[in-house]
Homo-oligomer: A and B are copies of this chain.
Amino acid sequence: MTRGKTPRRLHLNAFLMNTGHHEASWRLPESDPYAHVDLRHYVRLARIAERGTFDSLFLADGPQLWSNLAQRPAGALEPLTLLTALATATEHIGLIATASTSYNSPYNLARKLASLDIISGGRAGWNIVTTAGAEAARNFGLAEEPAHAERYARAAEFLDVARKLWDSWEDDTIVADKAAGVWGDDSRIHPARHQGTYFSVAGALNVPRSPQGYPLLVQAGSSEDGKAFAARYAEAVFTAQRTLADAQAFYADLKSRTGRAGRDPGHIKVLPGIVPVLGSTQAEARAAEQLLEDHIVYEHGVGRLESLLTLPAGTLKLDERLPSELPPESAIEGAKSRYTLVVELARRERLTVRQLIARLGGGRGHLTFTGTPEQVAGQIETWFTQGAADGFNIMPAVLPSGLDAFVEHVVPLLRARGLFRTEYDDPRQTLRERYGLPRPAHPYPTPAPALV
């Protein structure tokens, strides 16, 4: 199953979010402040990404309403619902939904993901999140958020149960013998029979095995727990890396962990997030970035930063640096890797709080590639060829215009360099195949027809 003969190709995922990843994007004249609840906006984005022969598109999510609606668009269509609608508006592109292992039941979520995989003809992906924060916990009967390690323990068991459910039908369970009056072969059904710490699930799933067997498994936590989980389960990983050296170290570490977990390191794809801000000259690109920064409401950003850093309100001053004393990552129960990334960025570049907010406003800690299409394509090639990435999670600052510009101006350069597909290879290719991953074999196929 090695793919040594095929030239190594870049994978591109379009991370769709409202009017764009820049927090001030909704204030631009071109932006529709109601876009986040408008199916037509997302259909348009999906079709742009498909025109650019992207591997997939992706929606983030969390089961809570972030407070302070004044600052930017809040609330969103539920990802599995929205992606199902997009499945009918597209033909090729993968559809990756975020869903939480802490606040779903394996039976319901496995069923919905299998249903999307069937409806889309094998294009479903699941971004597995454990969901940080007390706000979410309090919407599901808990007083406080579960501890980080406990969330990951539950996530691991969730995956084990979900895979039992996805494998509860063999691929050829449906017999459809009309003459004999036999529709299905009950001997090919394997109930989950799971009794664990967090879940007890007895039966088989109530939907047949889907085209991919199960959805592409994606993960994005970069904490220690997150990396251990990814090595064991993930087939693609979204990550925020700010420098080539950091990205190379993360890449090597994750591939190595995956090998040590007994899996082929080629079967986990690493996709750092980048925010491309394009201009036909570098000055034009920088001006586009400046325009966005001018629209940031900095007072909002201070509150968000204090919340991330677990500091009391009023601690941070806009034109001063972060306090020298901050809690260690181990004391953070929320988004650990994001916490460290933000603190390190501020320290490394000696940023004031205002400067830090401006940098985070562009992509919440992800790397912004500001420049001409040639410069951005060059940076992508460097990261891809120098052991930092198998592809990229493209996070346009403004949507749809930023995605359109990337597809119009950067994708052709990547194609010309032989780094990226010029068309979708086979219209019936599944999302997992597009990422160069094998379809999961059924773990216990019935060897021969049962004697009745």
Contact = CB atoms under 8 A, between A and B. Distances in A.
A68 interface: yes
A112 interface: yes
A153 B73 CA distance: 37
A122 to B, nearest CB: 13
Contact of A138 (B173, B176, B203): B203
A221 to B, nearest CB: 21
A186 B87 contact: no
B63 A107 contact: yes
A351 interface: no
Most buried by B among A27, A189, A200, A202: A202
B135 A203 contact: yes
Contacts of A64: 203, 206
A119 B174 contact: no
Interface in A65-107: 65-78, 80-82, 84-85, 87-89, 103-105, 107
A184 interface: yes
Contacts of A29: 178
Interface stretch (A31-39, A311-319, A404-412): A31-39
29 contacts: A26-B183, A34-B176, A37-B118, A39-B88, A39-B118, A63-B108, A65-B203, A67-B186, A68-B186, A69-B173, A69-B185, A69-B186, A70-B184, A71-B181, A74-B184, A75-B208, A76-B207, A78-B112, A78-B207, A81-B84, A81-B112, A88-B89, A103-B107, A104-B108, A107-B139, A135-B202, A138-B203, A139-B203, A141-B200
